[in-house]
Amino acid sequence: MTSNRINLTITQQLALISAVAALVPVWFISWLTQLSWQWVVSVSAISILICGYLALRLAKPLVQGVQSLETGLLNFKDGELSSLLAYKANNEVGKLCQLYNQTAKQLRQEKQWIYQRELMLDKVLQSSPQAVILKNDQGFIVYSNHSARDLLNAKSSLEGSQFSTLFVDAHPQLVNALERGVDGLFTLDNQQQESQTWHLATGKLLLNNQYHTLYVFKQLTRELSRQEVEVWKKVIRIISHELNNSLGPMSSMLHSGKILSEKVDEPRLSRVFSTIEERIKHLNEFVQGYGKFAKLPTPQLTRINWPQLLKQLKNQWAFCLNAHADVTTYADHTQIEQLLINLLKNAHESESNIEQISVNLSQDANCTRITISDQGKGMSEQVMANALIPFYSTKATGSGLGLALCREIVEAHHGQISLHNQPNGGLSVHVVLPNKQ
């Protein structure tokens, strides 16, 4: 059996208490003095009206303060922290409202700081080369960055998708690593790019009282290559420094020797000095060339005018062009021009027919793709494995700088370069430059 309980407001409670407090002494005095019932009713009515009026006047500011607090707490519940209470009475309720306003200001500042930190963290993660995926305990993806979408060949955002749907378009070796769900290394073999070594790190974390699984994919191929290139750069800087220390005095002594030889009638001295001068010039060019590789400046990104750039290159090197319209690429114009010059120079030196040298330029949502192909001799597996390393060259007069500089330029733009032998003979060089860096 349930009992019906009467709920009274604060105003009603105060009015009832005031009425009772007013009637008790009136009835007590009437009982002692034996007053008539007409007098008792009249005095009681007047007392109730006076006490009720005073109770309403006293309860009004209290009710306003409570209503203000109720409104503020409802705002808190809805996540609204910008509204402050206007109630400023000098009583206990007013002090509570003042404390509420101070709390709301502090919470608003903390919320803004947390929001700014979330924006900064999202910016860092979205621009990170490491692929990051976060899924909840129901198997839905709640967060992913651009690198994760590129790794999984996703055409749209991954958020809200089932984790199992990622396996449809992903690389089989990547799917195998995800199904194992443990930390470790795996390799992605791709016909269009060089093999890539990745490290998968997983972890469990609790967010909003719900367990989530974090997947972090880190590519090791580029990091290992970068360390290798840094070692070569250090070697080159040391060699260049020693050569420059020797070439300066040699040039000065050569100049002095030529002046002294003018007083000697010996024609062979002129040939000797000419040979020395030629070798010094060659060494200077050698040092300057490797210095360009060792001290490649940071790319200055501007919009590449592809029609103008390709037209200038055609004046130096003949090639067949297959370019899509409206290709928009932001990169360093000078470095991209040097990249294409080196690749076209190699294609012309490959014993390929000029009409079989081609440049293909295309673009998709994520990157600009440049492919330079020829029908020359191609490369053996050993040569291809070392072609991008500084100092390595199969040419009698080669310096081993051309492809190494190409690789350095591409990686400075956060892109990729790979070499492939074509089925019908010849070499194809693929360059991928990201649209957003």
Q: In a 10 Å sphere around its CB, with 0-12 CB exposed, 13-18 middle and 19+ buried, how is residue 19 labelled?
A: middle
In angstroms, rounded to a whole number, what is the distance separating the alpha carbons of residues 104 and 84?
7
- Dist. CA 373–CA 378, nearest whole Å: 10
Q: What is the mean pLDDT of the chain?
A: 78
Judge whether residue 294 has pLDDT over 60: no
**Architecture of the domain defined by 128-219:** 2-Layer Sandwich (3.30)
| CATH class of the domain whose range is 302-434 | alpha beta
- Higher-confidence position of 330 and 167: 330
Residue 176: pLDDT band (50, 70, 90) is confident
The two three-digit tokens of residue 25, written as one number: 């002494």
Measured in whole angstroms, the distance separating CA 124 from the mean position of its chain's CA atoms is 4
Across 385-413, average pLDDT? 70
Tokens standing for residue 81: 């922290």
Would you place residue 371 in the very low, low, confident or very high pLDDT band (cuts 50, 70, 90)?
very high
In the predicted model, is pLDDT for residue 414 greater than 80?
yes
Give pLDDT, residue 86.
Answer: 77
Q: Is 192's pLDDT higher than 60?
A: no
Quote the CA–CA distance of 85 and 385 in Å, as a whole number: 72
pLDDT of residue 191: 52
Residue 1 has pLDDT above 50, yes or no: no
Lowest mean pLDDT among 2-6, 246-250, 251-255: 2-6
- CB-based contact 378:427 (threshold 8 Å): yes
- The one-letter amino acid code at 207 reads L
Q: What is the pLDDT of residues 275-292, one digit of tens each?
A: 777 777 767 766 666 566
Q: 192-201, 337-346, 364-373 — which is least confidently predicted?
A: 192-201
- The C-alpha torsion from 157 through 161 and 162 to 163, rounded to 10°, is 20
Per the CB < 8 A criterion, the answer to whether 65 and 96 are in contact is yes
Q: What is the pLDDT of residue 230?
A: 66
Higher pLDDT, residue 134 or 366: 134
For 69-83, what is the mean pLDDT? 80
Best-predicted range by mean pLDDT (19-23, 39-43, 129-133): 129-133
**Which residues, 6 or more positions from 81, have their beta carbon under 8 angstroms from its beta carbon?**
75, 104, 107, 108, 111
- Closest of 359, 361, 335, 363 to residue 435, by C-alpha: 363
> Sorting pLDDT into bands at 50, 70 and 90, what band is 60?
confident
146 and 133 Cβ atoms separated by less than 8 Å: no
Cβ(169)–Cβ(183) below 8 Å:
no
pLDDT at 293 over 70: no
Among 37-51, 63-77, 156-170, 347-361, the least confident range: 37-51
Contacts for 122 with CB less than 8 Å, ≥ 6 apart: none
pTM confidence score: 0.43
Distance CA 397, CA 74 (A): 80
- Rounded to 5 degrees, φ, ψ at 268 are -70, -25
| pLDDT interval class at 231 (50, 70, 90) | low
pLDDT of residue 276: 79
For helices 221-261 and 267-294, give the axis angle rounded to 10 degrees: 160
Residue 224 has pLDDT above 70, yes or no: no
Question: In 3D, which of 188, 234, 230 has the Cα closest to residue 418?
Answer: 188
Per-residue model confidence (pLDDT) at position 195? 62
The Cα–Cα gap between 193 and 222 comes to: 13
